[in-house]
Amino acid sequence: MEDHGLAELVELARKVVEQVGSERLEEELAQLGPRGASGEFRNLIFAGTGPKPEMVLDDSVSNYLEITANAEHWLFYDRPLTSQGLTWRHMLDWWPTTGAFASIAGEVDASDPTALGRTLYKRLFASVPVTSPPAQKLFITYCSRYGRPDGIDQPALIPEVHLHYDPYTRRERGGQGPLNRERMDFLLLLPNRVRIVIEVDGKHHYARQQASPAGQESWTAAPDLYSVMVAEDRALRLKGYEVYRFGGYELMQPEAEDVVSTFFDRLLADSDASPPPSTH
């Protein structure tokens, strides 16, 4: 077995499932998600700083996902997602293996979690739209949790999600097709496959800007835009996600940091996603 690469072993396992059948083996394979052009597994495509990635699904049976353009602007989490969720510790372990980190590897001590965390935080923050100060504030406020004594085991807040492949969610909720494309402002992957979507709503979610002869900003309520937003929420909930929305106005108020911190404290406590107590 040691002479075979992971991709080769997985392909063999897929053939076993197809020809013989094994529910347990099928579940293990499902955790790996779609494969990229070089054979790696890509459960998450996120934190874009440029044009959207162009993707094709070459093989609908084995979920062979090829990124044909703009991959250099995105991050790809290429490790199996387990029932433990995705924590900051997982992200720090993965980050030095990426091409994005390779370009700065000589500038940071990869053995220092604090230094490593700064570079990953900087890269993730770069993807949060500069045109959305409320989203930036939410991200900054949440990420301050990583500085706590138990911060490395906090759930990671994933920004600007372009794709989240969750085969368990699709199977359990009756989803169709092998590829699940979603656009999310932020995503938390908690223990026991709890999926939390956080959206930050600006005026453009429920109103349209109107031209004003005086050059002043004018917005008119747009029921059709609001309907699209709530329809997307329903679709996400039917797929097994929990959806929470913040208003942009709310996040720009003086008490916003306290509001956000309290929200996440309660959310993670209710979801039983708090790090285990220290044994030291």
Predicted pLDDT at 183: 83
What is the mean pLDDT of each successive set of 10 residues along the chain, which is 280 residues long? 57 65 63 53 82 70 66 86 86 93 87 92 96 96 95 96 70 48 86 91 63 67 72 83 93 96 94 55
- Kindly state the tokens that stand for 217: 């900003």
Predicted pLDDT at 173: 46
- Residue pair 101/117 in contact by the 8 Å Cβ criterion: no
Predicted pLDDT at 280: 41
Question: Exposed e or buried b for every residue in 19-46, given b needs 16+ CB within 10 A?
Answer: eeeeeeebeebbbbbbbbeeebbbbbbb
pTM over 0.85, yes/no: no
DSSP string, 58-105: EETTTTEEEEEE-GGGSEEE-S---TT--BHHHHHHHGGGSHHHHTTG
Predicted pLDDT at 235: 82
Predicted pLDDT at 278: 44
Predicted pLDDT at 21: 64
